[in-house]
């Protein structure tokens, strides 16, 4: 799975999940995003309403088992977040935390099922881990859900990707 395919997978999940109900064509109902980690600590309460699925931008690493099988391993995360209006309103806070917990479980079940159906190739089910989150501004709560997948590493050079350099 490429990063573009991964993004498309999670955006489709955000559109089909009833609690998220992402509608990309409607700005007030946009609830899928792809952010860098620094963006989570800002005041994100004005960026969306309702529960959102946010795919965290991340890198990858190589795995080589001293054989011809090399893999690219993607240690990734997505966030299930919702804005809160008052950090001191414990009833609202608990209700929204519970909602995010439910969506995190739904996403976990989707990953496991899609792995079995071949829709999320390379997903490693034992890698899933969810951690509760509240941003520093006190304007959003939710879960950071970590997962891993790996794909075969492209090790063949494509000559069309390189300039010919006779001095190297």
Cα–Cα distance, 9 to 112 (Å, whole number): 14
The structural domains of the chain, with segments of one domain joined by +, span 3-153
Cα–Cα distance, 77 to 49 (Å, whole number): 21
CATH top-level class for 3-153? Answer: alpha beta
Phi and psi, residue 82, nearest 5°? -145, 140
- Annotate 44-62 with b (16+ C-beta within 10 A) or e (fewer): bbebbebbbbbbbeeebee
User: Could you read off the pLDDT of 85-136 as tens digits, one per residue?
Assistant: 888 889 988 999 999 999 999 999 999 999 999 998 889 989 999 999 887 7
Phi and psi, residue 112, nearest 5°? -65, -45
pTM (predicted TM-score): 0.83
In the prediction, which pLDDT does 41 show?
62
User: Could you read off the pLDDT of 65-97 as tens digits, one per residue?
Assistant: 777 788 899 999 999 998 888 888 899 889 999
């Amino acid at each position: 799975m490429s990063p573009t395919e991964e993004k498309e997978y999670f955006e489709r999940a955000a559109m089909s999940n009833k609690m998220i109900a992402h509608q990309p064509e409607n700005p007030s109902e946009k609830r899928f995003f792809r952010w860098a980690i620094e963006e989570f600590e800002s005041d994100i309460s004005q960026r969306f309403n309702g529960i959102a699925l946010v795919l965290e931008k991340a890198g990858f690493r190589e795995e080589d088992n001293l054989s011809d099988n090399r893999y690219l391993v993607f240690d990734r995360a997505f966030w299930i977040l919702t804005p809160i209006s008052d950090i001191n309103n414990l009833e609202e806070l608990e209700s929204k935390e519970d909602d995010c917990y439910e969506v995190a479980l739904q996403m976990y079940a989707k990953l496991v099922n899609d792995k079995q159906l071949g829709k999320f190739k390379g997903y490693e089910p034992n890698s899933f881990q969810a951690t509760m989150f509240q941003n520093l501004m006190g304007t959003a709560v939710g879960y950071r859900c970590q997962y891993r997948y790996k794909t075969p590493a492209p090790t063949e050079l494509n000559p069309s990707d390189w300039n010919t350099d006779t001095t190297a």
